[in-house]
Structure 1
Amino acid sequence: MSETAAEGVTVSERAAKRIGEILKAEPEGTMLRVSVEGGGCSGFQYKFDMDRAKADDDLVIARDGAVVLIDPVSVNFMSGSEIDFVEDLIGASFKIKNPNATASCGCGTSFAL
């Protein structure tokens, strides 16, 4: 597994930097968990949580001090995606560029397949 890509999911340099900054303020061993859940205005939504426990079947992506965990079910929905961090006039947030999504909402956290 490469540092930046696994199972076709990548973490951009900007996202890795921001995740690393966030994790520095958390207890030692904390990782960012990204998951896909049913709901949101388009059918599925991304969820971001801090987690200190890694499951045996989690996908682990490590880059520049950032560690991201993704469960196997969520990986199926996110294959080929890039986790990015963007700053614009309305604020800063993590965005997932998912080539599998056929539609998404304006907030960028909800999508349809």
Structure 2
Amino acid sequence: MSEAIQLTSSAAQRVATIAAKQGKPAILRLSVEGGGCSGFQYRFGLADGVEADDTQVETDGVKLVVDSISLDLVRGAAVDFVENLGGAAFKVENPNAASGCGCGSSFSI
């Protein structure tokens, strides 16, 4: 059975670097909130720990945690870190998204 959500090695490496600089655990929280130009938007942040209703996956010693409500909207997705001429950012490849915006930070179902 495949993971409910995935964290790429590139994203794990970036989280580890950020967490080390901030003196925090290497735990990335992904949540989904209403808003953005397409209806829902992704939120990323370092977490201090794992909550009881979180789903977690680990890649290269870094954890990705998603709350149960957000997981319904991102199940099967992969979180990556990409760098290109436009900048560097975490990106969610979400198979549940029917459409997205140009910036890639919001989506609709």
Instruction: Provide TM-score, normalisation by structure 2.
Output: 0.91
Whole-Å separation in 2 of the counterparts to 1:42 and 1:65: 33
Q: Of 54, 59, 67, which aligns to 1:58?
A: 54
Q: Of 11, 18, 25, which aligns to 1:15?
A: 11
Aligned partners of 2:3 and 2:76 also within 8 Å: no
Q: Does 1:6 align with 2:33?
A: no
1:71 aligned residue:
67
Aligned partners of 1:32 and 1:67 also within 8 Å: yes
1:82 aligned residue:
78
Structure 1 gaps, min length 5: none
How far the C-alpha of 1:32 sits from its partner, in A, is 1.4
Whole-Å separation in 1 of the counterparts to 2:105 and 2:74: 13
**Residues 30-79 of structure 1: CA distance to partner in whole angstroms, max 9, x if unpaired?**
52111000000000000011221321111111111311111000111001
1:24 aligned residue:
20
User: Aligned Cα RMSD in Å?
Assistant: 1.6
Structure 2 gaps, min length 5: none
How far the C-alpha of 1:110 sits from its partner, in A, is 0.2
**Residues 1-51 of structure 1: CA distance to partner in whole angstroms, max 9, x if unpaired?**
9xxx632x1111111111111111223435211100000000000001122
Aligned partners of 1:42 and 1:103 also within 8 Å: yes
Whole-Å separation in 2 of the counterparts to 1:98 and 1:28: 27
Paired residues, number: 109
AA matched with 2:3: A
Tell me the percent identity: 42
Instruction: Provide TM-score, normalisation by structure 1.
Output: 0.88
